[in-house]
């Protein structure tokens, strides 16, 4: 990033984010919020144990939920877009810290994701009522494959008969903020699908805003036989030589985006990257 092009506001923002990530008090708050959410014996105890060890050792470790908690504390986002919500663990962290945030959740509610029920919007809405009762900024769910819904939401494709079949997505996009202060990309875990999600949201990240990308590991879901699909596949970019690796996606973003600063943690329970738009 060419620092000279960043303004004092974004430089200050970057410093605040750096000093807030891993704050033990915010990690403790993350745990408290996770504990108010419905049980998930397959996944939650291990995560809470990992976070708790960080609070006790003060080693400033973070993963996606505690990073989102810290980012929301630092940025106080007025708008939040999340791709991949599942049972609302990440969403709850943002809504707890930013009661006025206008939140948009994109999920196709893959059955049994993570080995437990993935019930969908009504379940998550109920969870948010309990975990983030102060939140009043509005929460909108856009169900479906994000590679079909995001292009319609952002009107990145011509709106024709098919798009008008579900007018609710067009309307939600028309009413949405023009840019988002905070974005999470944690839906489709194929490398190509992650690339599509990131490139769909990039034009709508606010200056001083952040994108969080989870699971920066070397094996993406293509290795499990999964394939990204989109009714717009023919007009979507497919970067040459993209490996089946979210780490490759991340490294390409780092190499290609000169208006972002990049923070990454490979010591996380799951590796995570945060890109902050500087100008």
Ligand X SMILES: C[S@@+](CC[C@H](N)C(=O)[O-])C[C@H]1O[C@@H](n2cnc3c(N)ncnc32)[C@H](O)[C@@H]1O
Residues forming contacts to ligand X in the complex (CB under 6 A) are 64-65, 84-86, 89-90, 106-110, 113, 118, 145-147, 186-188, 193
| Identity of the residue, 6 or 274, whose beta carbon is nearer to ligand X in the bound complex | 274
Longest dimension (CA), the chain: 57
- Least separation in angstroms between residue 100's CB and ligand X is 21
| Identity of the residue, 37 or 207, whose beta carbon is nearer to ligand X in the bound complex | 37
- Least separation in angstroms between residue 134's CB and ligand X is 20
φ and ψ of 218, to 5 deg: -80, -15
| Identity of the residue, 116 or 207, whose beta carbon is nearer to ligand X in the bound complex | 116
| Identity of the residue, 106 or 195, whose beta carbon is nearer to ligand X in the bound complex | 106
- Least separation in angstroms between residue 106's CB and ligand X is 6
Would residue 22 be called left, alpha or beta, if left means φ above 0 and alpha means ψ between -120 and 50 degrees?
left
| Cα–Cα distance for residue pair 38/40, rounded to 1 Å | 7
Both structure tokens of 42: 């397959």
Strands (E), the chain: 79-83, 102-107, 139-143, 180-185, 205-214, 260-265, 272-277
- Least separation in angstroms between residue 257's CB and ligand X is 22
Cβ neighbours, 10 Å, residue 128: 21
| Identity of the residue, 79 or 90, whose beta carbon is nearer to ligand X in the bound complex | 90
| Identity of the residue, 65 or 102, whose beta carbon is nearer to ligand X in the bound complex | 65
Q: Output the CA angle 244-250-253, nearest 5 degrees.
A: 120
- Least separation in angstroms between residue 175's CB and ligand X is 20
Both structure tokens of 120: 């969908």
- Least separation in angstroms between residue 207's CB and ligand X is 24
Cβ neighbours, 10 Å, residue 272: 26
């Amino acid at each position: 990033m060419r620092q000279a092009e960043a303004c004092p506001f974004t430089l200050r923002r970057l410093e605040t984010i750096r000093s807030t990530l891993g704050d033990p008090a915010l990690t403790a708050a993350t745990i408290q919020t996770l504990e108010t959410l419905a049980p998930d014996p397959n996944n939650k105890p291990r995560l809470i144990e990992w976070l708790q060890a960080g609070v006790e050792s003060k080693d400033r470790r973070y993963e996606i939920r505690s990073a989102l908690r810290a980012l929301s504390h630092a940025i106080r986002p007025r708008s939040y877009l999340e791709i991949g919500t599942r049972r609302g663990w990440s969403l709850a962290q943002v809504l707890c810290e930013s009661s006025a945030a206008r939140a948009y959740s994109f999920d196709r509610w893959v059955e049994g994701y993570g080995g437990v029920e993935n019930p969908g919007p009504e379940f998550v809405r109920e969870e948010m009522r309990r975990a983030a009762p102060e939140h009043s900024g509005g929460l909108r769910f856009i169900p479906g494959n994000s590679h079909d819904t995001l292009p319609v939401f952002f009107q990145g494709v011509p709106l024709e008969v098919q798009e008008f079949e579900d007018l609710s997505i067009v309307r939600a996009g028309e009413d949405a903020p023009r840019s988002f202060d905070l974005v999470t990309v944690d839906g489709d875990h194929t490398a190509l699908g992650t690339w599509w999600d990131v490139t769909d949201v990039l034009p709508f990240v606010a200056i001083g805003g952040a994108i969080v990308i989870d699971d920066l590991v070397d094996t993406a879901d293509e290795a499990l036989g999964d394939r990204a699909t989109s009714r717009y596949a023919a007009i979507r970019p497919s970067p040459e030589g993209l490996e089946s690796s979210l780490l490759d996606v991340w490294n390409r973003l780092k190499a290609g985006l000169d208006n972002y600063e990049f923070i990454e943690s490979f010591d996380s329970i799951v590796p995570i990257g945060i890109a902050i738009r500087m100008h």
